[in-house]
Amino acid sequence: MIDSILDRMTLEEQVSLLSGADFWTTVPVERLGVPKIKVTDGPNGARGAGSLVAGVKATCFPVAIALGASWNPDLVKQMGVALARQAKSKGAAVLLAPTVNIHRSGLNGRNFECYSEDPMLTSGLAVAYIEGVQGEGIAATIKHFAGNESEIERQTMSSDIDERTLREIYLPPFEQAVRRAGVMAVMSSYNRLNGTYTSEHHWLLTKVLREEWGFDGIVMSDWFGSHSTAETINAGLDLEMPGPARDRGDKLVAAVREGKVDAATVRASARRMLLLLERVGAFKSKPDLTERAIDLPEDRALIRRLGAEGAVLLKNDGILPLAKTSLDRIAVIGPNAATARVMGGGSAQIAAHYTVSPLEGIRAALSNANSISHAVGCRHNRLIDVFKGKITVEYFKGRGCNGDPLHVDTVDKGEFFWFELPSDELDPADFSARMVMQYAPEESGEHVFGMTNAGLARLFVDGRLMVDGHEGWTRGANYFGTANDEQRGAATLDAGRSYELTVEYEPSMASEEGINLIAVRFGVEKPLGEADIAAAVETARNADVALLFVGRDGEWDTEGLDLPDMRLPGLQEELIEKVAAANANTVIVLQTGGPIEMPWLGNVRAVLQMWYPGQELGNAVADVLFGDAGPGGRLPQTFPKALTDNSAITGDPAVYPGKDGHVHYAEGVFVGYRHHDISAVEPLFPFGFGLGYTSFRWGEPRLSVREMGPDGISVSLEVTNTGDRPGSELVQLYVRSPKAKVARPDKELRAFAKLLLQPGETGTAVMKILPRDLAYFDIEAGSFRAEPGGYQLLLAANAADIRSVIDLPLPAGYMQPPSTA
């Protein structure tokens, strides 16, 4: 059928398939019955075509690092199934996920959106995720291919990575997604790889992806991430997104006529697009692009379970789990206590059905809610609190908010990110909007107003200009680098009085990098200070236990910018020190998208890392704190004692964050625990670390054969729960290699098994490795090579806790070209 359609297509029609129709859909060819399909973000929820911050509600699942911490492919596959169902509810046939870039620096703004520092763990979870999604008839899109481990100058930066490091660290998750999961789509990254944009990288997209790995799906650009016509399609980029066409369309037709692009190349890309439509069932029934909100009890239960499975208990002197009946007074403190920080920022954002804050979850878990006291203590927000309340929005043709409004809306939040305007009569390049709202402060005193805008905007308070985001506008870090840095203004306000706030907005379509967005965010807050910390300290002093919820949120852990450091932002460290001094029973609950430094660690009794676990956050937190569920997580990323202990933080800007448009991955394959091993730098918490509420006894490991052969080898190990609570144990299998002609890590993760056991129950961890798991990539030979000799298998609870060492001979040398399965 596909070839028949292609034979009847004109060149122009074939070309039309190779660009989006708009932000989220492909171009139909109605004459030949070729429908359009919709794509949707993202990794932790299916948003649909709505705004990043509004639109049809969607189910919010845990972010990728929380899934990485679960080390549970079976649960991740279940989440993939649920996400496919959510994608269908948004009329989408393609899910733009998963993200499998590697945790390199610890400062990447999208660290939360990626699984792990280890390519094997990342690969296993990505394969499970893709199998879950695609098993339900929805295409998964693995991203970002490749070398996108930082958000700094990401549209232009060249990630300079040698081939061995690429093959061993950064490419395996993509390779396994193709070979094992049959992923249907790959998204090229914004950055350049060794000087060439990945969207124009023939070696990457054709030689490696298609010819070596056998990929037969489509390659799409990241949004506005393609920059040329002939170069991209000749390299292997099929779909330019978003639409309408910028470098394809008439330009591509002309390139074929002029001989710069072979007509067969266009046909091959068009064929892959039609094959995608066939695979997602678009030819069998016309896709229904209607968007609906479905909030299912089974999804709620899965999210809650995943939250506990990914929760990592980093420290516990016996205070956890808390006994519900023996605590008369519980202090719930911190900037993340009463606010549900359920997701990171950027394109992964969705409008969740609901969110449960830790304070709400704890209150729901306890029969005596009166025993709970609450204090904020301090803020950690990077941007001023967004305005929440009734806002009347008037839309006008042209700039300046002149004449009668064409359309009027009422919304409840001061953030607008328009993919589509509310009327087809409004031109995204030539419209304006006026937002009017009332603000009545609860307390008198100085208040700070803030606004950031992709476009031009002004904020007025009772008619007086308070924040000018118009005159002198310059590009900053917000909204993927298309908006200015937040502009602020302060005023003294009186409690009980109502003030009229007005924001006037108009787009500015000028862009240095081709990314054109229209967005504005504004808010107001009364700053907190030492008096608020003092109030939190008193709250803690009068409690039996102080639960302190700290960390970051989606303003810090976000697409578009990297973190400035690895410390808790704001006054949180001061809050921790003072609360811990006032209450000896202080428990820290962290929410971050990656590692942080912990100078206060010795002053608290327990530390629980919850990441951003989705809409059931508060319930999952309560489950773990009170022992209704055990903390099932293990670290997917090393937590260093200090930022400078990270392999990428050398003091040389060429290594990180980059210099003169290049970032040099000088550490090579020694990323994460590999770096800590080889440099003997002790981490704060090692890769794979995590505590639980029970104890386990490990038996002696057994091998299926005595030496490595072509069919591989299985390792089995009995594990018994010797405690009085159910719990999960993780067995990690590392390979240690003999000396080779290249420097190799001390050990490398090659398999793992997670067991959930009841008290007294014994289970068997079974792990299989293949000859390639002993290999490194030999650049000269262009192959994976394992030299003959004595290897070792290390059975470990984490990267620093080796329980058994097994000698494994490899009698004959092994070499595998990357083009073989």
Residues facing residue 659 across a β-bridge: 662
At 119, list the tokens.
Answer: 């390519």
Residue 799 Cα distances to 105, 508, 644, 685, 731, angstroms: 19, 51, 20, 9, 11
At which residue do the structure tokens 């969607």 appear? 58
The CA R_g of the chain, rounded to the nearest whole Å, is: 27
The model carries a pTM of 0.95
pLDDT digits (tens, 9 = 90+) for 178-211: 999 999 999 999 999 999 999 999 999 999 999 9
Specify the pLDDT at position 493: 97
Cα 441–498–473 angle (5° rounding)?
Answer: 80
Strand partners, 260: none
H or E element, residue 488: strand 487-493
Looking at CATH, the fold of the domain delimited by 696-816 is given as: Immunoglobulin-like (2.60.40)
Q: Where are the beta strands (DSSP E) in 552-635?
A: 586-591, 606-609
Q: φ and ψ at 150, to 5 degrees?
A: -155, 155
Residue keyed to tokens 């800007």: 653
Distance between CA atoms of 437 and 439, rounded to whole angstroms? Answer: 7
Question: What local confidence, expressed as pLDDT, does residue 817 receive?
Answer: 67
Q: Mention the CATH class of domain 388-525.
A: mainly beta
- Distance, in Å, from the CA atom of 634 to the CA atom of 730, rounded to the nearest integer, reads 8
How is residue 574 written in tokens?
A: 């001061």
pLDDT at 444: 95
Considering only CA atoms, which of 370, 328, 332 is closest in space to residue 536?
332
Please name the residue that has the structure tokens 């978003």.
Answer: 242
Residues forming a β-bridge with 419: none
Predicted local confidence at residue 368, as pLDDT: 79
Query: Which amino acid appears at position 506 of this protein?
Result: E
**What integer pLDDT is reported at residue 818 of this predicted model?**
61
Residue corresponding to tokens 């450091």: 565
Instruction: State how far the Cα of 143 lies from the Cα of 135, in Å rounded to an integer.
Output: 19
- The set of residues, in sequence order, having a beta carbon less than 8 Å from that of 236 and lying 6+ positions away, is 202, 205, 206, 209, 210, 219
Q: Identify whether the C-beta of residue 565 lies closer than 8 Å to the C-beta of residue 297.
A: no
Q: From CA 759, how far away is CA 150, in angstroms rounded?
A: 44
Q: Which residues have a catalytic role annotated?
A: 222
- DSSP state at residue 210: I
C-alpha–C-alpha distance, residues 85 and 315, integer Å:
38
Residues in the chain, pLDDT under 70 = 509-514, 817-821
* Domain regions of the chain by residue span: 388-525, 696-816
Residues paired with residue 34 on neighbouring β-strands, in sequence order: 29
